[in-house]
Structure 1
Amino acid sequence: MINNRPYQEIEAKQPNKPPYKMGEIHPKPHAILLPYPLQGHVIPFVHLATKLASNGFIITFVNTESIHHQITKSRFQSNHHEEGGDIFSEARKSGLDIRYATVTDGFPLGFDRSLNHDQFFEGIVHVFPAHVDELVGKLVQSDPPVNCLVVDTFYVFSSSIAKKYNLVNISFWTELALVFSLYYHMDLLRKNGHYDHFDKREDIITYIPGVEAIKPSDMTSYLQTDPTTIVHRIIAKAFADVRKADFVVSNTIDELETQTISALQKNQPFYSIGPIFSSGFPTSSVATSMWSESDCAPWLDTKPEGSVLYVSFGSYAHTSKHDIVEIAHGLVLSQVNFVWVLRPDIVSSDETDYLPTGYDRLIEYCGLIVPWCSQISVLSHPAIGGFLTHCGWNSILESIWSNVPMICYPLLTDQFTNRKLVVEDFKIGVNLCDKRSITREEVAEKIKRLMCGKSSNDFRKEIKKVRKTLENALAIGGSSHKNLDRFVKDVKAKIRKNH
């Protein structure tokens, strides 16, 4: 039966609050944070919640019941914590005022959202907004009342709900400003024949404001494919809606995307406050993992410094059995030690037998395969010397922070654009496949290029420069630090104006 309960606030003891009279403007902004129901979006939202709470916000963080169930189930399996409960309970002990609630997405917990992808996202567009509306309606009556709505940019309903309840409308973009700009200017891409045309142009794109020349193959996958899917409709609606946002905050850094960000700021307030890590990186007191995490440290502790390749293709995208088999053989041919995170559903939800026969014997001494792990813990281990990645933006930021160069194997969405930055702009990695079909020989060659010799030293030299840029941005007086201060002040001013 579909769950009709609109929302559930998880019971938790809150910090002592001063008496509050209805009608007064509370000195602290109170924001609802609502991430998209995918692991790669929940993680930066959790980090943003702790960052805003550390800067004087009261936060009510809202997960879907499905995401909450997955996270708490994985916590129980990994650490034998009690299932259920408040994922921010530990963070709140440090004095942060972060409340926690869940909301139904309209589907039962047992519904396979990955296998029924299109049906699920149709529900996110047409059913989920009503549940969010009801939740917000209750939370604006809380003590103190909510006055800000911080919603993932990919949601299509934030402006209507913010307007209905007189909330400051804040859009959180979890990816590159470059990707935001490409979606923001889809009308220009369509007008110039690079998108939504039967006979699309393949020449270099030079007309997007603030974006240097970019190849069509470096655009996101959704700007390269049939524009009639549910995801395409979501993107179109979301980027019409984001133009109505009062503020956009982004998990990027001014110095990495100076021209693109400057151009976007001419349209509406856009604040780069990345990288949005928790203050406790590489560990966090807030659970975000949706699968039980294997402990790779004992195995890694036995390997020499910088000798292990970490391999992971993220939490969401699928790939082909052919590519998995070729990568598997390529890893063995490279003769490099590796840790490989292989989700059971990496090929599809209903095909789990995809490795070569007898592969466990082939890798007995050189490889460790796990279904899931704490990525930041593995990347920060001294034994890790490279990362074969799908190029999710979270993964790239974590890899840079850990000084680990990358082999790029993008699968979906923004990952193709992210690859461009890693390989061409930052020069901190290589592209896995220069042809349409992956071969084991090419996999082995790219691994050796990343992990050994002069090219490896060059990558490590460059990635230290990019890591320093991130450090400087986060430091007191750095660009991201100043942008966050300015954002907090501007939000408070907007709240006063609204009241």
Structure 2
Amino acid sequence: MEGVLHVLPAHVEELLRRVVLDPASTCLVADTFFVWPATLARALGVPYVSFWTEPALIFALYYHMDLLAEHGHFKCKEPRKDTITYIPGVPAIEPHELMSYLQETDTTSVVHRIIFKAFEEARGADYVLCNTVEELEPSTIAALRAEKPFYAVGPIFPAGFARSTVATSMWAESDCSHWLDEQPPGSVLYISFGSYAHVTKQELHVIAGGVLASGTRFLWVMRPDIVSSDDPNPLPEGFMAASAGRGLVVPWCCQVEVLSHTALGGFLTHCGWNSVLESVWAGVPMLCFPLLTDQFTNRRLIVREWRVGMPIGDRGAVFEDEVRARIEGIMSGKEGEELREAVKKVRATLEAATAHGGSSQQSFDEFVDELTRR
């Protein structure tokens, strides 16, 4: 992580300098957490555009870390546990719904240094582009716009996302299509915890027990390092034999292709923002098991605000009976039917935003117009 602060800039700054000095270049767009491009943009006299890849809610919480600290919810030995009601544009939020780095009492880590520097630069950015949709976070976006030029331009998917399979990770993919083709519509629970987060062996065994007890068909992405690179076979002994005929475990797969398959009925996810958007786009309700950083706050959007998913466990406290009950509820219960109806509505909102004349299209056009008028 230190490399983000000190090593990477030295390797790419000269290349960026040449690109930005090209007469055709009008601005420098960089991920908010890449903290050094803002300095380069200022030095070269071009607008700096902070590209925020997560929801506006999370941007707002990081943006107002000073308020959280002032009120005793952050940067103190014993943070307050009462509801947070004072962040502009953010509905009342519980401390356990904050991003994991805002729940920690030690704020001296390199990750915290990156976060603090990133939002120091974000405050000075000329513009912010955000991978969200205005209709899904209206009050938060309005409050941020009162602070600075803030444009909701999501959902941002790779070109051809809705029409073809697009690799979104460097992990080698397994072809699951033939197995999925053999399963009844809406019968398969897809389980994946993303490309880098880890779970404990105990958590994995509890979830595996719940999956078995539910009797549900499943497709489980089991990265070789999901627990540790020293433990390539972390599933409980006998799990594969007990689930034979109704489950498939693979090291990685094309998530977009899987979520879009008619066999899918639910997604047990770590709540990474890309996974959330992909699941909504595919019309698949979610079971939420966040592991770190923004995922706890994303769960709040999924469960409390959009009502397109249900929670499982909370920060290390997960129980087999709960996992089983949640799986049964989303796959065959009334809760699942209600979630599927809700996710259709949110999907329609995403589609409308990206269509011609939609809010995200208009927001991006406004950004371009503002940029070209400078």
TM over 0.5: yes
Counterparts in 2 of 1:171 and 1:414: CA distance versus 1, 3 Å:
same
RMSD: 1.5
Equivalences for 1:287-298 in 2 at 5 Å?
287-298=167-178
> 1:361 — aligned with what?
241
The structural deviation recorded for 1:168 is 2.2
Aligned equivalents of 1:434, 1:141: Cα separation in 2: 49
> 2:266 — aligned with what?
386
Aligned equivalents of 1:199, 1:334: Cα separation in 2: 40
Aligned equivalents of 2:183, 2:221: Cα separation in 1: 18
Aligned equivalents of 1:394, 1:286: Cα separation in 2: 13
What is the SS of the residue equivalent to 2:211?
helix
Output the amino acid matched with 1:151: A
Task: Assess if the C-alpha contact under 8 Å between 2:303 and 2:311 holds in 1.
Answer: yes
Task: Assess if the C-alpha contact under 8 Å between 1:271 and 1:483 holds in 2.
Answer: yes
Q: 2:130 aligns with which of 245, 250, 256?
A: 250
What is the SS of the residue equivalent to 2:82?
coil
Task: Assess if the C-alpha contact under 8 Å between 1:282 and 1:377 holds in 2.
Answer: no
Output the amino acid matched with 2:215: Q
> 1:177 — aligned with what?
56
Task: Assess if the C-alpha contact under 8 Å between 2:268 and 2:287 holds in 1.
Answer: yes
Counterparts in 2 of 1:477 and 1:141: CA distance versus 1, 3 Å:
closer
Which structure dedicates a bigger proportion of its chain to helix?
2
Q: 2:154 aligns with which of 248, 271, 274?
A: 274
The structural deviation recorded for 1:185 is 0.3
Task: Give the percent of matched residue pairs that are identical in Structure 1 and Structure 2.
Answer: 54
Q: Select the structure of larger CA radius of gyration.
A: 1
Equivalences for 1:304-319 in 2 at 5 Å?
304-319=184-199
Instruction: Tell whether 2:307 aligns with 1:427.
Output: yes
Instruction: Tell whether 2:350 aligns with 1:470.
Output: yes
Task: Assess if the C-alpha contact under 8 Å between 1:158 and 1:241 holds in 2.
Answer: no
Task: Assess if the C-alpha contact under 8 Å between 2:129 and 2:152 holds in 1.
Answer: yes
Counterparts in 2 of 1:285 and 1:445: CA distance versus 1, 3 Å:
closer
Equivalences for 1:25-424 in 2 at 5 Å?
121-140=1-20, 145-225=24-104, 226-283=106-163, 287-424=167-304
Instruction: Tell whether 2:370 aligns with 1:490.
Output: yes
Task: Assess if the C-alpha contact under 8 Å between 2:167 and 2:254 holds in 1.
Answer: no
Output the amino acid matched with 2:253: C
Aligned equivalents of 1:479, 1:140: Cα separation in 2: 29
Task: Assess if the C-alpha contact under 8 Å between 1:310 and 1:387 holds in 2.
Answer: yes
Aligned equivalents of 2:39, 2:315: Cα separation in 1: 45
The structural deviation recorded for 1:360 is 1.8
Counterparts in 2 of 1:141 and 1:264: CA distance versus 1, 3 Å:
closer
Aligned equivalents of 2:173, 2:330: Cα separation in 1: 27
The structural deviation recorded for 1:283 is 4.7
Output the amino acid matched with 2:244: E
Task: Assess if the C-alpha contact under 8 Å between 1:318 and 1:345 holds in 2.
Answer: yes
Q: How many residues align?
A: 373
**Structure 2: any 5+ residue segments left out of the alignment?**
none
> 1:440 — aligned with what?
320
What is the SS of the residue equivalent to 1:306?
coil
Aligned equivalents of 2:165, 2:276: Cα separation in 1: 22
> 1:98 — aligned with what?
none
Aligned equivalents of 2:27, 2:167: Cα separation in 1: 24
Aligned equivalents of 2:315, 2:223: Cα separation in 1: 25
* Runs of 4+ residues over 6 Å off in structure 1: none
**Structure 1: any 5+ residue segments left out of the alignment?**
1-120, 495-499
Which one is further off, 295-304 or 459-468?
459-468
Counterparts in 2 of 1:232 and 1:135: CA distance versus 1, 3 Å:
same
Output the amino acid matched with 1:155: F
Aligned equivalents of 1:435, 1:254: Cα separation in 2: 30
What is the SS of the residue equivalent to 2:123?
helix
Task: Assess if the C-alpha contact under 8 Å between 2:289 and 2:314 holds in 1.
Answer: no
Counterparts in 2 of 1:451 and 1:438: CA distance versus 1, 3 Å:
same
